[in-house]
């Protein structure tokens, strides 16, 4: 005799319980937590009710199958993912080639996120996190690697964003960047701005430029980073790396001190405030090569962001200084590669030629973008870079259209080159 699930449930109700039951579906972690509480109190407290099992301390019992953080990081390295992302209410997730993937582990609880976090940080870091609700640092898992970790609070719970730091510093060619970029990195003075959205390889590009300088020139390099990602060995140059929160209190404090350290090259992880921007521009105008990054969607917006950091009454002077000392703006994107689901780099360049100097000085940056339909020695738009990658069969039209500035122009140029 074969019984359906509903028939079996009816027989169970009738013969064993003597009354009806209503089945419900809940996460396994909650069932385990409830059973754990019942077992612990068996014979001691018969008054436990359903409301007691829903209390936060009950659901915080660590009965889930979440792996240690070290094993998650090992898995991330093995699968060549860029990021491990963890938030309460969602499963563990990894980002690979820009795509988010859920891992087959239980949904993370607020308690589990706190446990992961406080096993990673020191007492001083805990106090800093509780003060600011945000914390950046690096962590070494022996035999696995170094990781950049950001801890932040959202919806009154803790979240983690963990990025694997690749110890090998790639060359410009390996990153898909042109040779001419290295020529600017070997200039004696001036300002190089590397921009793009978060997660598009700005820090890696800057590390490749520092390594080129380190391998080609005898000079003194001072970096100010938050946190340090790539460790540079001293080659022909001395490379002194200072970490915000460990070696210095802030970017601006590090830049105030840098002139007493006899720098030839100054590398600033990111421009975040007017004071840092002013010192960086001043350093570029006083015989130093300065490299830094900004979050911006294109090359002209990068320059506008530097200018807009300052009060209105100071912006004219900053435009003059940028016009005189800017070397190059490189804006970049990582695009999914068509053939093997890796990524390839597309870039926009803006070289500070004589005509670009005039446009910066006069505050006419919008005219630069009016020239983007054609490539030139001093300006090469992101859309043209995407067209070239599409023409070479490296990226799909769909991915290019998702990133390009002008879809109509991209399609027009692409139709002439396929």
Q: What is the DSSP string of 108-173?
A: PPHHHHHHHHHTTS-HHHHHHHHHHSEEEEEEEETTTEEEEEEEEEETTEEEEEEEEE-SS---HH
pLDDT at 6: 55
Q: Which residues have C-beta within 8 Å of that of residue 168, sequence separation ≥ 6?
A: none
- Which pTM was predicted? 0.73
Phi, psi of 12 (to 5 degrees): -65, -45
> DSSP readout, 233-281?
PPSSSEEEEEEBTTTBS-HHHHHHHHGGG--SEEEES---SHHHHHHHH
Per-residue pLDDT of the chain (418 residues; tens, 9 = 90+): 555 555 555 555 555 455 555 665 555 555 665 666 666 665 555 555 555 544 444 444 444 568 999 999 999 999 989 899 999 999 999 998 778 999 989 999 999 999 999 999 999 999 999 999 999 888 999 989 989 999 999 999 999 999 988 778 999 999 999 999 999 999 999 999 999 998 899 999 999 999 999 999 999 999 999 888 898 999 999 999 999 888 998 999 999 999 999 999 999 999 988 999 999 999 999 999 999 999 999 999 999 999 999 999 999 999 999 999 999 999 999 998 887 778 899 999 999 999 999 999 999 988 887 766 666 889 999 999 999 999 999 999 999 999 999 899 899 888 875 5
Angle at 227 between CA 222 and CA 233, to 5 degrees: 50
pLDDT at 60: 42
CATH number of 69-165: 3.30.450.90
pLDDT at 227: 84
CATH 3.30.450.90 maps onto the chain at: 69-165
Strands 93-96, 83-87: pairing kind? antiparallel
What are the tokens at 86?
């963890």
Under DSSP, is residue 92 helix (H, G, I), strand (E, B) or coil? Answer: coil
pLDDT at 97: 79
Write the pLDDT tens digit of every residue in 213-247.
Answer: 999 999 999 999 988 889 899 999 999 999 988 89
CATH number of 172-380: 3.40.50.300
Strands 83-87, 157-165: pairing kind? antiparallel
pLDDT at 157: 93
CATH 3.40.50.300 maps onto the chain at: 172-380
What are the tokens at 389?
């990658």
pLDDT at 204: 93
pLDDT at 165: 84
């Amino acid at each position: 005799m074969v019984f359906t699930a509903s028939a079996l449930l009816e027989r169970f109700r009738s013969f064993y319980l003597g009354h009806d039951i209503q089945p419900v579906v809940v996460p396994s972690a909650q069932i385990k937590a409830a059973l754990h509480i019942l077992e612990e109190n068996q014979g001691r407290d018969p008054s436990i009710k359903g409301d007691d099992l829903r209390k936060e301390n009950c659901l915080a019992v660590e009965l889930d199958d979440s792996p240690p953080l070290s094993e998650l990081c090992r898995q991330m390295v093995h699968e060549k993912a860029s990021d491990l992302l963890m938030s309460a209410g969602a499963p563990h997730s990894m980002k690979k080639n820009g795509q988010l993937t859920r891992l087959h582990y239980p949904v993370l609880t607020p308690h589990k996120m706190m446990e992961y976090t406080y096993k990673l940080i020191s007492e001083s870091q805990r106090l800093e996190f509780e003060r600011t609700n945000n914390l950046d640092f690096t962590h070494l898992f022996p035999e696995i690697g170094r990781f950049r970790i950001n801890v932040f609070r959202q919806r009154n719970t803790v979240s983690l964003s963990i990025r694997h730091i690749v110890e090998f510093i790639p060359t410009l060619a390996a990153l898909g960047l042109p040779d001419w970029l290295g020529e600017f990195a070997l200039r004696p003075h001036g300002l190089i701005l590397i921009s793009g959205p978060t997660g598009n390889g700005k820090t890696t590009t800057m590390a490749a430029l520092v390594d080129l300088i380190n391998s080609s020139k005898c000079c003194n390099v001072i970096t100010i980073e938050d946190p340090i990602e790539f460790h540079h060995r001293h080659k022909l140059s001395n490379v002194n790396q200072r970490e915000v929160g460990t070696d210095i209190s802030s970017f601006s404090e590090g830049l105030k001190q840098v002139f007493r350290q006899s720098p030839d090259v100054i590398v600033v992880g990111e421009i975040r405030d007017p004071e840092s921007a002013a010192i960086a521009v001043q350093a570029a105008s006083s015989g130093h090569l300065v490299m830094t990054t900004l979050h911006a969607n294109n090359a002209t917006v990068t320059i506008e962001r530097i200018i807009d950091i300052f009060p209105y009454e100071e912006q004219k002077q900053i435009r003059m200084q940028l016009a005189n000392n800017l070397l190059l703006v490189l804006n970049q994107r990582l695009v999914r590669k068509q053939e093997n689901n890796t990524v390839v780099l597309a870039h926009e360049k803006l070289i500070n030629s004589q005509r670009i100097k005039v446009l910066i000085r006069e505050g006419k940056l919008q005219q630069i973008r009016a020239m983007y339909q054609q490539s030139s020695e001093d300006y090469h738009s992101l859309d043209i870079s995407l067209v070239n990658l599409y023409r070479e069969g490296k990226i799909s039209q769909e991915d290019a259209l998702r990133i390009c500035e002008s879809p109509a122009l991209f399609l027009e140029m692409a139709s002439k080159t396929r």
